[in-house]
Amino acid sequence: MGTRARTRVPRPVTAPDDAPATGVGASRGFALMLVVTGAAGLLASWVITLDKFRLLEDPGFTPGCSLNPVVSCGSIMKSEQAAVFGFPNPMLGLVSYAVVIAVGAGLLAGARYRRWFWLALNGGALFGVVFCTWLQFQSLYRIGALCLWCCLAWVATIVLFCRVTRHTVGHRMLPAPAGLRDGLREFGWLPPVAWTGIIGMLVLTRWWDFWTG
């Protein structure tokens, strides 16, 4: 009795579902988040840049967002921390937030980006949120004033960083335990809300006497 030789058909080698060789796209909601946060940051950077130039032309100029001794954009603009790299900080925001808008617009059009691109975006968002955190400390505890447009940029950057990190971790472009991936998938809204809430509490306690006086 003869035996029929069995032949195995090898499975095709494909890239992981979470990071296909053709690149990774994103949902419409995620793309819109990039556009909205980028637009918010760009608006804040644009207004601050214009006011900075007006202040350079006229040292007596008072920005419209200088409302009281605490909410005083002028005090922030005149500080050394307002030009960390030798030029006004918001000029860096003009470029960075414009890139975020472009990435979001590309995703809305159906673009798919490779892993290195997503990691670069995540790295840029990390730099942005670290820089904003440093500026928050300087604003609260060194300069002693707040800029409302800066606050808008802070919140936009925090949301951007948290959502981009959730995306890269969720698609396994960044190594992370399964529990962390699941947690970010279920409670991805929590980090930006908690982070922003902590900043709000710091602002409240820093000038408690002023707010309650």
Structural domain boundaries, residue 71: 28-212
Residue 96 forms part of a structural domain: yes
Give dist(CA 69, CA 65) in Å, integer.
11
Query: In this structure, what CATH number is given to the domain that contains residue 125?
Result: 1.20.1440.130
Residue 50 lies in a domain: yes
Q: What percent of the chain has pLDDT over 70?
A: 90
Confidence of residue 213 (pLDDT cuts 50, 70, 90): confident
pLDDT in tens, 147-180: 999 999 999 999 999 999 999 999 999 999 999 9
Q: What's this model's pTM, rounded to 2 decimal places? A: 0.88
Report CA 79 to chain centroid distance, whole Å.
24
In a domain, 79, yes or no: yes
Helices (H) and strands (E) counted in the chain, each on its own, are 8, 0
The answer to whether position 10 is within a domain reads: no
Tell me whether residue 41 is in a domain: yes
Tell me: the pLDDT tens digits for 7-49? 554 444 444 444 556 899 999 999 999 999 999 999 999 999 9
Number of domains, the chain: 1
